[in-house]
Amino acid sequence: DAGVIQSPRHEVTEMGQEVTLRCKPISGHDYLFWYRQTMMRGLELLIYFNNNVPIDDSGMPEDRFSAKMPNASFSTLKIQPSEPRDSAVYFCASSLYGAEKLFFGSGTQLSVL
């Protein structure tokens, strides 16, 4: 398997623009997680899905953030409108067993100018 695939690897955008991050989990994994990593706050869970259903979105910063999982092989994280404080590395991870044994993608480095 190719592992968790995220795109794009890097995204530079201007404040106010819409940003869409994409993730393809490992085939057969029932859980998908979105994390954000910054120097100040470390790795923070934003939202996770089980069998394509959002289970806990309490980590989503505000209404500007939304995530979808239309099928078992694809998920998106959207920020609209983006702000400079959203600059971070966003990781997608998938697993068979919930929060244990997460397999992370390589991340999307987002810079909002």
Distance CA 104, CA 44 (A): 13
Using CB under 8 A as the binding rule, whether residue 96 contacts other proteins is answered as no
Distance CA 47, CA 13 (A): 23
Is the bond preceding residue 54 a cis peptide, omega within 30 degrees?
no
Using CB under 8 A as the binding rule, whether residue 28 contacts other proteins is answered as no
CB of 57 to other proteins, least distance (A): 10
Sites for other proteins among residues 45-64 (CB under 8 A): 45, 48, 50, 55-56
CB of 8 to other proteins, least distance (A): 14
CB of 16 to other proteins, least distance (A): 28
Residue from 26, 69, 79, 93 in contact with other proteins (CB under 8 A): 93
Beta strands in 14-58 (DSSP E): 19-24, 31-38, 42-50, 53-56
Distance CA 100, CA 13 (A): 34
Instruction: Answer for the pair 55, 62: CB distance below 8 angstroms, yes or no.
Output: no
Using CB under 8 A as the binding rule, whether residue 101 contacts other proteins is answered as yes
Q: What residues line the site for other proteins (CB under 8 A)? A: 4, 31, 33, 42-43, 45, 48, 50, 55-56, 91, 93, 97-107
